Amino acid sequence: MPLLAEGEFALLRQHLEAALKKNVILDFVPSGDHDLYAQLVDGAAQQRDQAALRKYAPLAEETATRIGHRLYMAIAHRAWGVAHTLAGSYAQAETRFQQALEIFMDYPAPWQIGRTLFEMGELARAQGNTEKGRAYFSRALGAFEELHAAPYVARTRAALENLSRV
């Protein structure tokens, strides 16, 4: 259950890709490709859009690395983790999620930490590890509750309930 509706992501993607072609300035703040790639890959991860993940994860990672933008690097790691989870490359997914989590915890970035823990729960679920999935989803739920991020709280509670039915 993605939080960004499919049509909304398509519209966002359309505008961001147009901005890439124009090299625009958004809201009077200079914006580089790194900003746009981070948004594109993050949206693709939320939508579980494998084609967009394959297209934008390498670009997001490369631009974040080039400019030394750790937050965007963590977003790219998480996106790669989602891509690897979807492809069944679970060890690679785990590595990427751990890399993202370490960076987000260094900031700290509680919402990003919660989102990453949620994805780690999804990875555990994909691997059939209910106990590990429950632990990750519970940690994510705590982060989202602390932030009063109601849609993410609801999504995480639903994931925990679905995990209990397995």
**Tokens, residue 124:** 């555990």
Q: What is the tens place of the pLDDT at every residue in 100-152?
A: 999 999 999 999 999 999 999 999 999 999 999 999 999 999 999 999 999 99
Q: How many domains does the chain have?
A: 2
pLDDT at 23 (0 to 100):
55
The whole-model pTM stands at: 0.83
Name residues whose C-beta falls within 8 Å of residue 140's C-beta, 6 or more positions apart in sequence: 114, 115, 117, 118, 121, 152, 156
pLDDT at 30 (0 to 100):
45
Residue 3 pLDDT > 90: no
pLDDT at 20 (0 to 100):
53
pLDDT at 22 (0 to 100):
57
Domain that holds residue 67: 1-89
Residue 94 is assigned to a structural domain of this protein: no
Average pLDDT over residues 31-52: 91
132/79 same-domain check: no
Average pLDDT over residues 38-57: 95
Domain boundary among 89, 121, 138: 89
Q: What is the tens place of the pLDDT at every residue in 69-90?
A: 999 999 999 999 999 999 999 9
**Tokens, residue 3:** 């939080």
Name residues whose C-beta falls within 8 Å of residue 83's C-beta, 6 or more positions apart in sequence: 45, 50, 53, 54, 57, 93
Residue 103 is assigned to a structural domain of this protein: no
Q: Among 72, 68, 95, which residue's Cα sits nearest to residue 83?
A: 95
| Ramachandran area for residue 109 (φ above 0: left; ψ -120 to 50: alpha; else beta) | beta
Residue 137 is assigned to a structural domain of this protein: yes
